[in-house]
Each structure stands twice: as C-alpha cells, then as structure tokens.
C-alpha cells in the first residue's frame, strides 16, 4: 500500500464505487471499501469524506440497539440534536442516545450513480467513432 501513488488510491476507490453504483448495494460502510480495495481504513475514510464534500455521496449515522444489535436509527448529523433516547422496534429496549455509538453509513448520490452509466455511453461513442 505504501508504494501506491495518490492517483492509484483514487482509482481503486473509484473502481469500487463504480461497482457499487451498478450493483444492487444501497448502503455500505467504510470498512467494505477498505476490504474490497485492500486499502487502510484511514485512507478510505479520508477519500470518502472528500467525496461527501463534493456531494458524490451522503454519509449518515447509524445506531444499533444496545440489546439486540439491530440497526434502529439512521439519520443525518443535523437531525440528531434533540434526541435523548430511542426505543428498539425489534426488542422494545429503550436505548440512550450517545453520538459516540454512531456508525457512519454511506449511500451514493443518484447523480454520482448516474455518472457511471453516462461514462460508459461516452466511452462507447469514443471507441466506435
């Protein structure tokens, strides 16, 4: 990994995101990208944060039940200001709200997803022309 140039890292992440965009995957974690690209998690987090700033993807916060570990709340950061606790819809456990327990979850923006299909159309036109 240490021998990879910044453009190679970007290319690996772009290829992974393209595969996700054309697949049925709706949401994913940073660790999924790290696993399929074989890049360190910190590098992946930095690159995906850059893409969030460019509005290519949305990073929300997911909370799991303290008792049954199921995902019970997914929200944008700004939606969490007035939450003190929440009840698990699966097991009924009352969960204290702690932002430190949040797990970032990522979803590609529709525009970003569509950019991959447009890229294929442009490439086909260039190759045939």
State the residue range of the domain holding 29.
1-56+109-129
**Percent of the chain at pLDDT above 70?**
89
Binned at pLDDT 50, 70 and 90, residue 120 comes out as low
**How far is the C-alpha of 72 from the C-alpha of 23, rounded, in Å?**
25
**93 & 114 share domain:** no
Q: Residue 32 — very low, low, confident or very high, per pLDDT cuts 50/70/90?
A: very high
Q: Do 8 and 37 lie in a common domain?
A: yes
The 3-state DSSP composition of the chain as helix, strand, coil percent (nearest 5) reads 50, 20, 30
Do residues 72 and 46 both lie within one domain?
Answer: no
Q: What is the pLDDT of residue 24?
A: 86
For residues 75 and 104, is the Cβ–Cβ distance under 8 A? no
Dihedral pair phi/psi, residue 38, rounded to 5°: 60, 35
Q: How many domains does the chain have?
A: 2
Same domain as 88, residue 114: no
What is the model's pLDDT at position 42?
A: 96
Whether residue 93 sits in one domain with residue 65 = yes
**115 and 52 share a domain?**
yes
pTM, to two decimals: 0.81
* Sign of the CA dihedral with 47 first, then 51, 54, and 59 last: negative
Among residues 14, 30, 31, which one has the least CA distance to residue 22?
14
Assigned token pair, 99: 């932002």
Domain co-membership, 7 together with 45: yes
Is the pLDDT at 66 greater than 60, yes or no? Answer: yes
């Amino acid at each position: 990994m240490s021998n990879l140039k910044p453009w190679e890292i970007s290319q690996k992440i772009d290829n992974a995101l393209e595969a996700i965009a054309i697949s049925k995957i709706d949401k994913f974690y940073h660790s999924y990208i790290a696993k399929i690209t074989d890049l360190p998690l910190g590098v992946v987090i930095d690159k995906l944060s850059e893409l969030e700033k460019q509005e290519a993807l949305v990073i929300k916060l997911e909370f799991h039940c303290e008792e049954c570990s199921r995902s019970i709340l997914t929200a944008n950061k700004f939606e969490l200001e007035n939450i003190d606790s929440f009840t698990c819809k699966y097991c009924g456990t009352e969960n204290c709200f702690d932002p430190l327990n949040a797990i970032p979850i990522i979803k590609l923006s529709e525009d970003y997803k569509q950019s991959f299909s447009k890229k294929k159309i442009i490439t086909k036109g260039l190759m045939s022309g």
